[in-house]
Structure formats: C-alpha cells, structure tokens
Amino acid sequence: MRSTKLWFSLFNISGQYKGHETGFVSLDAFEWVQVFQENSQGLKDEMAAFLSQNNTPNLYFKKEMVTQDLGYRTLSLRWWDLNFRKNKIQFPLAYKLMEQFPQISTLSYNFLAPGASIKPHFGDTNAIYRCHFGLQIPAEFPECGIKVNGENNSWKEGAFIGFIDAYEHETFNHSKSERIIILMDVIRPEFIQKRAWITSVVMTSLFLQKRAVKWSFIYRAPQWIITLSAIMLLPFAYLSVKFLNIIRYY
C-alpha cells in the first residue's frame, strides 16, 4: 500500500493535488460517524431552533467562488482549531459531540441558497477528510449535489459524505429550497501527529487568501516568494490560535 505524502495548496499554487486516493472516501470505520448519526434528530432540532430566531450566518469570505452574492453562508463552532465558543449557546449538542472527538479540526454549518452553486475549486490540504453531514437536503443529484474529482454524489439527511478536499470539487443547489449541512474537517489518522503543523500551514494559507481578495498580486507572485512569506508567518499562525483560544471569547 502506497503511503500518502502530505500536500498543501499554499506550497503548490500552480498545480492541483495528484493523489492516489478516490475522491469520495468511506467513513464507516470511524466512531464519530455513528455518534453523529445517532444524534441526527437532536442536531436537526438545534438548527430548527436557530432558524426560528432569524439568525443570519456570515457570508463566506471568497465571494468569487459563489454564483450568487448571498448564495453561501457559514457559521462555525471550530475553524482549524480556533474555537467559537459563543455559538455553543445555540448549538450545545453539536459542540459537545465536537469536543468528544478531538480529531475534528473544523465544524461549521453551511447554507447553500436555492439556485446557488460553489464553483470548482480545491482545498488547502490532503491531511483531512472533508465531511458533509446532511441536515436539510431539498433534492438529490442532479438537482442538488456535489462533484469531487469528476465523480457525482448526493447528500442525505442524517448521513455523512466524506471526500478528499484537496481534489477539485464543486457543489450546487438548483432546487427551490436552502441546503444545510454540517461541514467537518477531520485529521486523517496517518497525519494526526502533524496536527499543529497542518493547522498552522492552513491558517497561514487562509490569511493570505483573505488578503488576496483585495490584493490579487499576492498569488501572482513567484512560488518561492509565497513559500518564504508563509514560512515567516507560520509561527504567528500557530501562536495566534493558541492565544486566541485562551484570551478571546468568539
């Protein structure tokens, strides 16, 4: 069996991931899958309560990825190990489950509006399984679904879809109702010992991506300049998450 080499988009700006894994992956062997599925109704009830209060999730920061201005919104409980403890008040069950399984580095609620699509893109690293847990799924493929590395799939309420986020993928909701999922990034077992390095590189990458929304010249720079800049920023990314989880209450 071939070993998988750790890959980051930050250090491969000009090329996509060329792995040997399938796009979609089986998650059946993981304990957290069963636990989330057993609590499916409770998770749906928390979301229903949230929506009844007319709370509005945040727009995703990379608007150019979405076909509608208000098409993609998110609300996080954890984002690459940065905890959003204020949202624990509205989602205590989800927060409890997340805390039960520390390999979960990200957990957020993702809202895809009727008629909206997220354009083809690829993620920050192959070190995680990107997992979608269906809460409100208005239709099946081809009306509403996800495409990963050329393969199509449909979400189901109360069930997970797992895939390699580093591959090119896209999602679409051509139905007349909103699609709502829980998005989780779970560190792959073979990379768990490198978690601090993984989260630091990805947070650095996301920082540069946010800056590039206004300063597009960043990603026109040669790879060596981006890599050098990233290496200089990595310690700050690592320490920022550690300190913010202690001194800030998000």
Note whether 112 and 72 are within 8 A (CB).
yes
Q: Are 43 and 182 in contact (CB under 8 A)?
A: yes
What are the domain boundaries of the chain? Answer: 17-192, 193-247
Q: What's the rounded Cα separation, in Å, for the pair 10 and 199?
A: 12
| pTM for the whole structure | 0.93
Q: Phi and psi of 66, rounded to 5°? A: -115, 145
What is the per-residue pLDDT across 32-68, written as a single tens digit (0 to 9) for each?
999 999 999 999 999 999 999 877 788 777 778 889 8
d(CA 27, CA 162): 6
Alpha helix stretches (DSSP H) within 3-110: 31-38, 40-52, 92-100
- Other CB atoms within a 10 A radius of the CB of residue 102 amount to 11
Cβ atoms 218, 208 nearer than 8 A = yes
Whether the pLDDT of residue 229 is over 50: the answer is yes
| Residue 2 scores a pLDDT above 80 | no
CATH number belonging to the domain at 17-192, selected among 3.40.640.10, 3.30.540.10, 2.60.120.330, 3.40.50.300? 2.60.120.330
Residues with Cβ within 8 Å of 221's Cβ and at least 6 positions away in sequence, in order, are: none
Containing 228, the helix (H) or strand (E) segment is: helix 223-247
Look at strands 104-112 and 179-187 and give their pairing: antiparallel
Burial 128-153 (b: 16+ CB within 10 A, else e): bbbbbbbbbbbbeeeebbbbbbeeeb
DSSP conformational letter for 134: E
**pLDDT of 103 above 60:** yes
Residues 78, 14: Cα–Cα separation, whole Å: 29
DSSP 8-class letter at 82: E
List the one residue out of 38, 194, 77, 225 whose CA is nearest residue 127.
Answer: 194
Per-residue pLDDT, averaged over 130-141, amounts to 97
Q: Return the closest-CA partner of residue 131 out of 155, 102, 113, 149.
A: 155
Quote the percentage of the chain above a pLDDT of 70: 97
pLDDT for residue 210 is more than 90:
no
User: How does residue 164 score in pLDDT terms, banded at 50, 70 and 90?
Assistant: very high
